[in-house]
Chain A
Amino acid sequence: MSTAIGIAEQHGVYLGIEPELANVVNSAAKARTLIDTLQSDRLKIILDPANLFEVASLEAQRSTVAHAIDLLADRIIMGHAKDRHADGRFATAGTGVLDYPHYLQQLQTIGFDGSLVTHGLSEHEAAGVAGFLRQTCGALGIALEQAA
């Protein structure tokens, strides 16, 4: 990681770490430890809440997401938007069990103003997901800027 940070510094780019159950950095707490250990402003976080739980009760899911946002608040540079089915399989944003109003509200609470990027979906689903995210943000009073 130190080598990668050296290269990132040289080129003025950020390294986006995405905590995910299947990665070495498999939790928000591990991502925090990485940040605290390396002490580099080049390290940023891409937060995808669907990566932080597989099968979880609504209460456990909300806790996981809230703790992750609080632990990493000063480093989150991008939010990802996908989802999980109740059986743990990944799903297209808005079609699964992820509590989107909770996730987006909490991002707003910490003053997040970065990009929200959806992925892991088919091309024909894109317009529907964009509509879902716009509508959910709108209902929460979150202002969106359209990507160029």
Chain B
Amino acid sequence: MSVTSMRVTRKTFAVDQLALSYVDAQGGGMPVVFQHGLCGAMEQTTEAFPQDTGARLLTLECRGHGQSELGDPQALSITTFSADVSGLVQHLGLGPVVMGGISMGAAIALQLAVQRPELVRALIIARPAWSYNKAPPNMQPNLVVGQFMQRLPQGEAKQAFLNSPTAQLLRTTSPDNLVSLTGFFDREPLSATAALLKRISEDGPAVTAADLSKLDIPCLVIGHRDDVIHPLVLAKGLADLIPRAQFVEITPKTVSKALYLRDMHHAIQQFLKGISHA
């Protein structure tokens, strides 16, 4: 279950003269590209992904995330990140692969399934924050955090956010979201995090409902309760829209991190088993 017990190799991939870091884990089986969420990194995906599946886990750390360079902040978008991921798949001579991710990673996977179908054989959509709309209201807490970073000096921003109306609400409705958002204030440099939060929260996967309703690949959608940034209703809506999708509800992280990971691992493991036998 822990990162240290997974065999992980970190490598670098160059795009637009930027060094982007990716991890290649667990050896030589079926390739699964599984992307982290906004302001996350490979630790998030290696933790959420099950071990001993025989699959090869690949995660590209998107620009400004983990050990990847930021580049031009104006270029930060779900479309740029998606192009970088498809670039990596082609660079490695892979594809079609199982494409998936958590939150923003799920939005990247949706865009690639629609726009680069030759690269995607199946989808894993974990805790989606986007369906097909730009700037969904559930992403607004991220926008608020970016605004605090932009408006206040580094030493004051975090405490001011913790006292804010948004934080007061999250403390009761979605405490795990509050923990994640508060952690964003510890990322360096704060200006890069502020740019990511502003640009990505107001962005979208650039697909339509009609696009999603035409996807003809196996798809797993995972969601849970008590998470206002990744609403269960949005995950269920996606599963209803994508014809071959199956929906799995897992234990919320706020109830138990261990059960959340156990359920996430089990859902992905079963899905991959179904695909490899197909």
Contact of A69 among B141, B165, B228 (CB under 8 A): B165
| Contact residues of A between 110 and 146, Cβ < 8 Å to B | 110
Nearest B-chain residue to A71, judged by Cβ: B147
Q: Which of B147, B148, B169, B202 makes the CB contact (< 8 A) with A63? A: B169
Tell me, yes or no, whether B144 is within 8 Å of chain A by CB.
Answer: yes
A33, A67, A74: the one within 8 Å of B141 (CB): A67
A92 on the B face (CB < 8 A): no
Q: In the complex the two chains form, is B165's CB within 8 Å of A29's CB? A: no
Residue in contact with A109 in the complex, picked from B148, B150, B164, B228, CB distance below 8 Å: B164
Interface of A is mostly: helix
Give A79-116 interface residues, CB cut-off 8 Å to B: 106, 109-110
Q: Does B163 belong to the interface (CB within 8 Å)?
A: yes
B208 at the interface (CB under 8 A from A): no
Chain B, interface SS category: helix
Within 8 Å of chain B (Cβ to Cβ): is A34? no
B137 touches A70 (CB 8 A): no
Say yes or no: is B261 at the interface (Cβ < 8 Å to chain A).
no
The B151-174 residues at the A interface (CB cut-off 8 A) are 151, 163-166, 168-169, 173
| With contact pairs A29-B202, A109-B164 given, residues A63 and B137 touching in the complex (Cβ less than 8 Å) | yes
Neighbouring A residues of B143 by C-beta, 8 Å: 29, 32, 67, 71
B135: CB under 8 A from chain A?
Answer: yes
Among candidates B135, B166, B173, residue contacting A70 with C-beta atoms closer than 8 Å: B166
Q: Count the A residues whose beta carbon is within 8 Å of the partner chain — how many? A: 20
Contacts of B147 in A (CB 8 A): 32, 70-71
Say yes or no: A67 contacts B202, CB within 8 Å. Answer: no
**B169 pairs with A62, CB closer than 8 A:** yes
Known: A63-B173, A70-B147. 19 other contacts (CB 8 A): A29-B143, A33-B202, A36-B150, A59-B173, A62-B169, A63-B166, A63-B228, A66-B169, A67-B141, A70-B144, A70-B148, A70-B164, A70-B165, A71-B140, A71-B147, A73-B151, A74-B151, A106-B168, A109-B163
Q: Which residues in A have some Cβ–Cβ distance to B below 8 Å?
A: 29, 32-33, 36, 59-60, 62-67, 69-71, 73-74, 106, 109-110
Q: Which residues of B contact A (CB under 8 A)?
A: 135, 137, 140-141, 143-144, 147-148, 150-151, 163-166, 168-169, 173, 202, 228
Query: Please, could you name 24 A-B residue pairs with CB atoms under 8 Å apart, sorted by A?
Result: A29-B135, A29-B143, A32-B143, A33-B202, A60-B137, A62-B169, A63-B166, A63-B173, A64-B137, A65-B165, A66-B169, A67-B141, A67-B144, A69-B165, A70-B147, A70-B164, A70-B165, A71-B144, A71-B147, A73-B151, A74-B151, A109-B163, A109-B165, A109-B168
